[in-house]
Structure 1
Amino acid sequence: MSRLASLAASVALLAPVAGVVTASPAEATTLGQRAVTEASHHYGQAYRYGAAGPTRFDCSGLTTYIFQRLGRSLPHNAAAQYSARGVRHLSRASLQVGDLVFTIRSGGIRHVGIYAGAGQMWAATQTGDVVRKQSLAGRTLVFGRVS
């Protein structure tokens, strides 16, 4: 794929959805970069339903653990994280590395990961899987930024 086609695909992937950003971009970027670095340290660790680290995780357990290590508190439930105090909803166009990415299925939030950039997120998805980068493509998504 040409560089221009790749850029066009990335822009299309980051098309806006409704939302507002209220966190400071500099602060969010710093925290976000730290979150992605921390997530990368858990690459290959096993998924386990209900687990929140330090060596096994479910999706919300991974985000809870990572942000707790960065001094932020998140509940251990994807839908509760989206509604949590200190999580600001934002548009896809405002998405930055380290933001939370929530997957919507069956009318509710069912999954959460950490935006890694380039249309991917760090996540632990299901039994038999491991913490790894996953594509955002083909998912119905909403986004949040931890402040």
Structure 2
Amino acid sequence: MLAAGAVLAPTALTVQAADAATLTVIPVAPPTAADTAAKTSWNARHKVGLTAVAVAREQIGKPYRYGGAGPAAFDCSGLVQYAYRKAGVSLPRTADAQHGHVKRHVKFTDFATGDLVYFYGDGHTGIVSKVDGGKVYMIHAAHTGTRIKQVLINGYYRGHFNGGVRPY
């Protein structure tokens, strides 16, 4: 007996040809435990990235300071390290060390909120804050004299793009 609201997964799909004379039965496998675990794993991991972005977003407007690791001022890698530490992930202090530390590399076309992006070799980093179609935005601490902000990774930054990683 099925519980109220339960849905049975189909075990076969019947396809009827256009001439209505041919029926084909194609077996459909129900979701496996691995499928369910992978989806659960992605959702749980992605929440970590979303938490890091929320922390980074709270820092918008604070000043850039070389060597700054927060909470009053940040440099680029200090912001990334701070946001991810608050989300429960330990990262090295510098951009190049962070890029080398995280083993899950991501192509620009596959970015998700919370991924880390690197520019100028590994001299600058930011946190992907929004993906809207082909547009990717990041929160970063750019350089002395600026404040933390969200920017579109446009032609300028794309021209200096060096890679991306997913630390969650």
Bin for the TM-score computed over the shorter chain: 0.7 to 0.9
TM-score, normalized by length of structure 1?
0.76
Match of 1:41 among 58, 73, 79: 58
Question: Could you say which structure has the greater relative contact order, defined with CA pairs below 8 angstroms and 6 or more residues apart?
Answer: 1
Distance in 1 (alpha carbons) for counterparts of 2:91 and 2:124 = 14
Partner-residue secondary structure (3-state), 2:150: strand
In the alignment, which residue of structure 2 is the partner of 1:115?
128
Q: Which residue, 91, 94, 116 being the options, matches 1:77?
A: 94
Q: Which runs of 5+ in 1 are unaligned?
A: 1-23
Q: What secondary structure, in the 3-state scheme, does the structure 1 residue paired with 2:72 have?
A: coil
Is residue 65 of structure 2 the alignment partner of residue 52 of structure 1? no
TM-score norm. by structure 2 comes to: 0.67
Q: 1:29 and 1:70 mapped to 2: Cα distance?
A: 11
Kindly tell me the number of residue pairs found equivalent between the two proteins.
121
| Residue in 2 that maps onto 1:145 | 166
1:32 to 41, 45, 49: 49
Q: How far off is 1:29 after superposition?
A: 2.0
The letter for the 1-side match of 2:165 is: G
SS at match of 2:59: coil
Unaligned runs of 5+ in 2: 1-40
**Alignment match, 2:105:** 89
Q: Is the 8 A contact 1:75 1:81 kept in 2?
A: yes
How large is the Cα RMSD of the aligned pairs? 1.6
Q: Give the distance between the partners of 1:93 and 1:28, measured in 2 at CA.
A: 19
**Equivalent pair of 1:81/1:87 in contact (CA under 8 Å):** no
Determine what percentage of the aligned residue pairs are the same residue: 36
Of structures 1 and 2, the larger Rg is shown by 2
